[in-house]
Structure 1
């Protein structure tokens, strides 16, 4: 899907999102914050083949999507509030010289601004019961450029984990190819978490996180651009 068509289709009906984003211009806003990470580390969390490193293989966590085929959508916000976030992922195939991988499924999920997940709850792990909700979860199919995009909000955090997004890539037969996670730079998180919908500074650093501590370079997003008023745009390449 062309980027301009994505915005026309996806930004309609954003509901209660805070600061309905000027995401069409967020990438070029002169006073936007811009963080970039060059992912060329051969750390122990990534398998390597020349210059093309597999994205770190990570746990799907305790809150994976239960029925992803029912959640094919670009706008995954639902009724949640928070700072707008456009996520664009590029999936590439290590076995094919890291060429873009088209026609595969990308499942994405993360917690809301308060650190809660949909489809779960009412337990010691998450007291708030959202078992009948499906916010902040979605599935897209990669285009000819290997890309899939989601309109969401900036994820919050919960005790014991650094801020993160879950990703699973599946082939056309829905066989899992890779499960991984995306990490965020602390300064951007601190800025977002100072806004009204969030719970303040996260209590777990990336370096102390039990998932990211041995694979942070491979998990860190490639770039994030924007601000808390207009929203942020996140780019990440996932190698499978």
Structure 2
């Protein structure tokens, strides 16, 4: 079964990542003393209260499109102005660089987020009958603190995959070449079960795949779990992405090929373009 849902780059277990950081003296970044701060006059802001651990890459998937849409709220379809159905979700990402035994904010990085809608459909895909539509896609540029924010909706599901977001970060590596990090973000099965039982998600029926049976999640998904908290009107979560910009293997181009090779679609038929309680995709 050929598809592009195979891990790309080097996948580190959390244990190995922590061991790597221990060798360089890097762990959870904390604010230093005034004397130490004085020596960092040209450095990026030091990250505080975030998980400074190198994160694993995962597959780009077949549905990435570089729409060139710089926006925080990705719910709107620029083709017709409609807003995607679903429960509002705000995602704050801290983009960090790990180097020389320290962890600091990474400003100026291009961060793409894309995912399917409440019915399992991706925009701008012939297989989804959504060419020209741009819902649930967009990018932000990290600020001086390495932060980006996306306003979106909770994703639905489609055949063969657990609920997930796609994430791509583009910046420059320590060698001066383009650096590209691609991965996926997940929720716990408990959280998925709860919100998928609400409308409009419930109209699609019971998902056929959970984290426990999703082969991408099983590779390293526990390191990419979001911890949402309830806010008025929906949910929110904050997550830190630690990047080793000297790792040229991880920083390589993550794009896939065509169908039948590394860039082919996920297993099973394409997602349905309309909600149906009996739909299996």
Query: What's the TM-score once normalised by structure 1's chain length?
Result: 0.73
1:170 is matched with which residue?
A: 170
Counterpart CA distance in 2 for 1:129 and 1:152 is: 21
1:226 to 227, 230, 233: 230
Distance verdict in 2 for CA 1:214–1:88, change over 3 Å: same
Which residue is equivalent to 1:77? 75
**Residue 196 of structure 1: aligned partner:** 199
| Residue in 2 that maps onto 1:238 | 241
Q: For 1:235 and 1:72, how far apart are their aligned partners in 2?
A: 20
Q: Does 1:144 align with 2:144?
A: yes
Cα distance in structure 1, aligned partners of 2:74 and 2:115: 10
Cα distance 1:136–1:47, how it changes in 2: closer, same or farther (>3 A)? farther
Larger radius of gyration: 2
Aligned length: 191
Once the two structures are superposed, the pairs formed by residues 90-101 of structure 1 within 5 Å of their partners are 90-95=94-99, 97-101=102-106
CA 93–110 in structure 1, closer or farther in 2 if over 3 Å, else same: same
Q: Cα RMSD between the aligned structures?
A: 2.3
Structure 1 170/137 Cα, relative in aligned 2: closer, same or farther at 3 Å? same
- Helix, strand or coil at the partner of 2:14: coil
Is the Cα–Cα contact under 8 Å of residues 66 and 119 in structure 1 kept in the other structure?
no
2:157 partner SS? coil
**Cα separation, 2, equivalents of 1:115 and 1:73:** 22
Using the size of structure 2 for normalisation, the TM-score is 0.63
Listed as ranges, the gaps of 5+ residues in structure 1 are 1-39
Q: What SS does structure 1 have at the residue aligned with 2:62?
A: coil
CA gap 1:156/1:93 in 2 versus in 1, 3 angstroms: same
Q: Assess if the C-alpha contact under 8 Å between 1:43 and 1:215 holds in 2.
A: no
Evaluate the alpha carbon distance shift between residue 120 and residue 95 of structure 1 in structure 2; reply closer, same or farther with a 3 A threshold.
Answer: same
Does the 8 Å CA contact 1:101/1:145 hold for their aligned counterparts? yes
Report the alpha carbon displacement of residue 151 of structure 1 after superposing the two structures with TM: 0.6
Give the Cα–Cα distance (whole angstroms) in 1 for the partners of residues 124 and 196 of structure 2.
Answer: 24
Q: SS in structure 2 opposite 1:212?
A: helix
Q: Hey, what does 1:3 align to over in structure 2?
A: none
Higher strand share: 1
1:16-68 Cα shifts (integer Å, max 9, x gaps) = xxxxxxxxxxxxxxxxxxxxxxxx93268x9942235321111110101233x
Q: Displacement of 1:217 after TM fit?
A: 2.3
SS of the residue aligned with 1:157? coil
2:14 matched residue in structure 1: 41
CA distance in 1, matches of 2:166, 2:241: 12
